Amino acid sequence: MLAEKTPPQGARSWADAWTEATPITAHDGPPASERQRPLAPLRVLDLSRLLPGPMACRHLADLGAQVLKVEPPLPGRPGLPGDDAAYMGPGEDGVSHFYRVVNHGKRRLVLDLKQPEQLATLRALVAEAHAVVEGFRPGVMERLGLGYEALQAINPAIVLTSISGYGQEGPLRLAAGHDLNYLSLAGVVDQTRTPDGRPVFSHLQIADQLGGAQTAAIGTLAAVLGAQWTGQGRWVDVSMTDAVRQHQVILGTDALADGESPAPGASLLNGGVPCYNLYRCADNRWLAVGALELKFWQGVCAVVGREDWAARHWSLGEAPGSEAARGLIDELGALIGSRPLAVWVERFAGADCCVTPVLGAHEALFGRGAVTRDEGMQRLTAPALTLR
């Protein structure tokens, strides 16, 4: 059970700040059930902005945590958020949908941390908090008087989670960067190349979300749990580049064995086999064939009427990236390209062989029918997991 903490005498309490803070909501839908809120006692101060830190804290808020998002005042625009994310992309009432989605379920508290009395307010909240999450460049928290040692002096059990591109130490610690830079240095961009060698963009911010948000959420919860057992907090140092790099498990083992990076379209999981590939249909939509296992590949061959291909599988000796594999990729591509996607979806319906359509982002997120703004925002803020 999370320990109860009391504020310094005469200081603003967490309960008061929570009541006075402005709720951040993306929609007017019903709140999560109590069963979905196991972190209800957890108190988190979110000092981060843009995407990685706010999304990490939203994961915690989705599970019931009380997240106070601390933002600076916006000169000349009282009442509006002090996070640049609030002005990125479409929105309403002067606030972007992006900001509302990544901060849904939190409460906004406006504090100018350069003002001593408002910095004192934050320090009082640290005394009652379990975790502080920030995404400044290394050294900024220390200059504000909020480094880990300063926070620990206020609350020995506090957890400080610092999210940065390259970590708190090392030659790149102060370097600027964004998702594309982190993915490039982690080896991900190199492995998104098409067979002609050209890298492609991912519109999902993999480093920000996987390396930043997910890793920070896990690290924060682990450190908070440890503090409940030992009374001692921790400083969680999240390098988005390092976190993404450490998820390169299959790629890493392949590269270690081969002594070099896999060439595009030459290995099992990057387009080198017909059973695990993307195929263009007659209507320029795409079909994803993920039949890695032999039984699934045999099912694909049965559906497309080419049982003679069933033995041409990597597990039976047809090497990924080989001339034979490339030839079969072309043959299957020509066959799938002879019909529109809808035909293949119908033919594969009920066939358990790992074949799916490649959906457009709007269809994947909101379906094919019309969706209201409120319905759409509810889908975008649905928790990533369900607790039963």
Is 196 an annotated catalytic residue? no
Q: 290 - beta bridge partners?
A: 276
Q: State the Cα–Cα distance between residues 189 and 186, nearest whole angstrom.
A: 8
Residue 129 phi/psi, 5-degree rounding, is -85, 165
Catalytic residue, chosen from 97, 178, 247, 254, is 178
Q: State the Cα–Cα distance between residues 326 and 311, nearest whole angstrom.
A: 15
Pairing of strands 43-46, 66-71: parallel
Is 352 an annotated catalytic residue? no
Structure tokens at 18: 């929570």
Would you tell me how many other CB atoms lie within 10 Å of the CB of residue 44?
A: 24
DSSP helix/strand/coil, 237: strand
Contact present, 253 and 322 (Cβ < 8 Å) = no
Catalytic residue, chosen from 62, 83, 208, 242, is 208
Report CA Rg, the chain.
25
* Side-chain-side CA neighbours of residue 361 (13 Å): 4
Q: Which among 190, 187, 205, 203 is positioned nearest to 247, based on CA atoms?
A: 187
Q: State the Cα–Cα distance between residues 111 and 122, nearest whole angstrom.
A: 8
Structure tokens at 73: 């005042």
Q: State the Cα–Cα distance between residues 351 and 303, nearest whole angstrom.
A: 8
Q: 355 - beta bridge partners?
A: 289
Q: Which among 34, 22, 29 is positioned nearest to 382, based on CA atoms?
A: 29
* Side-chain-side CA neighbours of residue 241 (13 Å): 20
Residues acting as catalytic residues: 178, 208
